[in-house]
Amino acid sequence: MDIAKEVTSIAKRAKSASRALSGISCEAKNKALLAMAQSLIKNSQILIRANKKDLLAAGGMRLNAAMIDRLRLTEKSIQQMSASLKAIAALKDPLGRVIRSVKRPNGLVIKKVSTPIGVVAIIYESRPNVTSDCIGLCLKSGNAVILRGGREAIHSNIAIYNLLKAQLRRYNISQDAVGIIKSVDRKAVDILLGLNELVDLVIPRGGEGLIKAVAEKSKIPVIKHYKGICHTYVDNKADLNLARKVAFNAKVQRPGVCNAMETLLVHKDIAKKFLPKMVKDLKDAGVEIRADAATRHIVKGLKKAKPEDWGREYLDLILSVKVVGGLEEAIRHIDDYGSGHSDAIITKDKKRAERFLERVDSACLFVNASTRFTDGYEFGLGAEMGISTDKLHARGPMALEELTTYKYKIFGKGQIRT
């Protein structure tokens, strides 16, 4: 079968399966999710062996450290995938929820009710856990899913897919509700993006190049998960020990992910006291600092930040540092260089915290906490399809609620319009 026929066939079967999913009980879906979670743990060595094939091939692809980090499967990461599926199963059914109900003067009862989107296509790079998370979230929300991962994780993705798909049959759920495009030819993506009569939504997850290409080529609505240029602003009324702890975590805990801090902004009044210790903490952890003139005046020997550094997503142990005159300058800097993902303020001043929360236009805003918490699982959503930097129709961690749309149900007693 050629690529066009293969991709179209997967989409047609997914469309048919999406209609059948409306008749599957939440109980059956939850049982399937728990069986999937158990299967991941039981077959963890199968997944790790498949992942080793991808890791070996990664050397020839010249993947950077961040990509390798995202690609690697371990016993711990497989346990986390399993835990996410269990968490999704434990959440309330997102379907059939009455969002709004009104009785009109003519007696009509109009209900706005949550319903699945239909068929969701996920185009992603590197992260095998996306395969599991997206299958779980789409199943629970009543959507069929088509997966198209990158060539760098092909063996891992197929292994996870095969394990999870096998559990559907046990609960009379169509296996066509979960599809995967195994071809790594880019032509397959182009074909998929043209199937607007079969696919209802596309979600790209990966580098900026992938997301822009999908958004430009797609005939299907796209929810974008652009880069995360995340800032932490340390106010002059901050607890400096707390600030050091939070900023260190935001940069170092896992630098190769989109919610890691890329720029540290420090109030000029506490810069001399705060920066030497903060920079030492970071450099001891292997972080390269790219700093403005004021920071380099306080801490000698730092690399000079170039203009393009302020808008760069490093996804690595590299950090831009800048001294600012105060909260308003910090906000202006975030306005100019931020990506609308996640930003934080460290302060004991409630009014300044509120000003930051009101003024900064990002999906997730933190007060005295690490940006690393921007995550569907950490938000109690079970998992996430990704972190949307769009404003319509989803923003921030995208999970069950964001995988639903709505329809109106109108109940009458013979009313006619005059």
Q: How far apart are CA 261 and CA 290, in angstroms?
A: 13
Q: What percent of the chain has pLDDT over 70?
A: 100
DSSP-derived 3-state class of residue 227: coil
**Nearest alpha carbon to residue 275 among 310, 301, 306:** 301
The strand pair at 178-180 and 261-267 is best described as unpaired
| 345, 369 Cβ separation under 8 angstroms | no
**Nearest alpha carbon to residue 73 among 103, 51, 55, 100:** 51
At residue 1, does pLDDT exceed 70? no
Structure tokens that stand for 296 in this block: 């380099």
**Nearest alpha carbon to residue 70 among 134, 154, 130:** 130
Banded model confidence at residue 80, pLDDT cuts 50, 70, 90:
very high
Q: How far apart are CA 114 and CA 298, in angstroms?
A: 56
Q: HSE-up of 321 (CA within 13 Å, CB side)?
A: 33
Q: Which amino acid appears at position 410 of this protein?
A: I
**Nearest alpha carbon to residue 161 among 172, 142, 147, 173:** 147
Banded model confidence at residue 67, pLDDT cuts 50, 70, 90:
confident
- Pairwise pLDDT comparison (119 vs 256), residue with the higher score: 119
Strands of 73-219, DSSP E: 98-103, 109-116, 119-124, 144-148, 178-180, 201-205
Residues 90-141: tens digit of each pLDDT: 999 999 999 999 999 999 999 999 999 999 999 999 899 999 999 999 999 9
Host H or E run for residue 323: strand 318-324
At residue 350, does pLDDT exceed 80? yes
DSSP-derived 3-state class of residue 341: coil
Mean pLDDT of 318-345: 98
Strands of 133-213, DSSP E: 144-148, 178-180, 201-205
DSSP-derived 3-state class of residue 230: strand
Q: How far apart are CA 221 and CA 202, in angstroms?
A: 6
Q: How far apart are CA 281 and CA 206, in angstroms?
A: 30
At residue 311, does pLDDT exceed 80? yes
CA 25 to chain centre: 27
Domains and CATH numbers, the chain: 3-224+390-411 (3.40.605.10), 230-373 (3.40.309.10)
Mean pLDDT of 322-338: 98
